Structure 1
Amino acid sequence: MHVFDDLDRRLIAALRADGRAPISNLARTLGVSRATVQARLDRLLDTGAVLGFTIRAREDHAEGVRAVMSIEVNGRSTTTVIRQLRGMTELHSLHSTNGKWDLVAQLRAETLHDFDRVLREVRNIEGITNSETSILLSSV
């Protein structure tokens, strides 16, 4: 496991802000040489501490319907329920949690009609005893 020092943390923060920043800009921002930035970045990638680079798009500009669903599961059914949920293409992410709800899912569907179908499919999964869904309206 990689232990981050202050320079690693500042480099990762700079890359989170702009994953396409040139090495020379990163070096200037961090107050170190280009060679130091390149060596640190290479090490972070080689050790798996940094998995890759991506873009962040504003979610409220995405097409379709987005929602968060809290799911209560009959205790012995959790593994089976998770397996069935993971098979749904509309499932964007799935998390276990504590408290009243056992799972939290982020769903995406192209249309309200598709979203309604997804809700019915989820609620019909054997082992799901209760759910609560909130449609995400806009990012703030």
Structure 2
Amino acid sequence: MQRSSAKHIFDDHDRLLISLLRKDGRAPVSKLAEIMGVSRGTVQTRLDRLLESGALLGFTARVRDDYEADQIRAIMMIEVMGKNTSQVIRKMRGLPELTLMHTTSGKWDLIAEITVASLQEFDRVLREVRLIDGVMNSETSILLSSV
């Protein structure tokens, strides 16, 4: 599917649809239409448009914390030197253990979510990130549970 380069402007129906999909990405179109008070065709058309424009990237499964008890998850806050943010992001994208990355304002320039199977892997990933040219400082917190 080719994605449109035009940025999608969300209206109230789009925001409601996305909110419902975040709660249940497997909800049938008919159920979404019922909740939204619109026809199935309207929901399907909006879904298609959101996917085609790239505004909606896909659907995901959420797993309870106790099903992933053998995994270690952490948040790493990263300070980047000067104007090297794009270069640092490119290099960090090559690390499969970094499952999410965000640019931020404030003291930290980037926040990365790390998911690994062991403390040894965790230590290795921290070292790899800290060795990337342009990474000036970092602080990492292990996630204990989701509430």
Match of 2:77 among 47, 70, 75: 70
Query: Which amino acid in 2 is paired with 1:2?
Result: H
TM-score normalized by the length of structure 2: 0.76
| More displaced 10-residue stretch of structure 1: 70-79 or 106-115 | 70-79
Task: Compute the TM-score of the two structures, normalised by the length of structure 1.
Answer: 0.79
1:52 paired residue number: 58
Match of 1:38 in 2: 44
Opposite residue 97 of structure 1, the aligned amino acid is T
Name stretches of at least 5 consecutive residues in structure 1 with no aligned partner. Answer: none
CA contact under 8 A between 1:60 and 1:137: conserved in structure 2?
no
- Counterpart of 2:134? 127
C-alpha distance in 1 between matches for 2:54 and 2:135: 36
Candidates 89, 100, 113, aligned match of 1:93 = 100
Which whole-Å CA distance do the structure 1 matches of 2:88 and 2:13 have between them?
43
From 88, 94, 111, the equivalent of 1:104 is 111
Q: Counterparts of 2:52 and 2:87 in 1: how far apart (Å)?
A: 36
1:71-124 C-alpha deviation (Å, 9 max, x unpaired): 222215434333322222211122222222222221111101111122222223
Q: CA deviation at 1:47?
A: 3.9
> Identity of counterpart residues, as a percentage?
61
Alpha-carbon RMSD: 2.4
Q: State the SS of the aligned residue for 2:21.
A: helix
Q: Distance in 2 between matches of 1:13 and 1:7?
A: 10
Q: Aligned partners of 1:108 and 1:100: how far apart in 2?
A: 23
CA distance in structure 2 between the partners assigned to 1:86 and 1:28 by the alignment: 40
Give the alignment of 1:20-39 within 5 angstroms.
Answer: 20-39=26-45
- The secondary structure found in structure 2 opposite 1:108 is strand
Deviates more, 1:101-110 or 1:2-11: 2-11
Range with bigger deviation, 38-47 or 61-70: 38-47
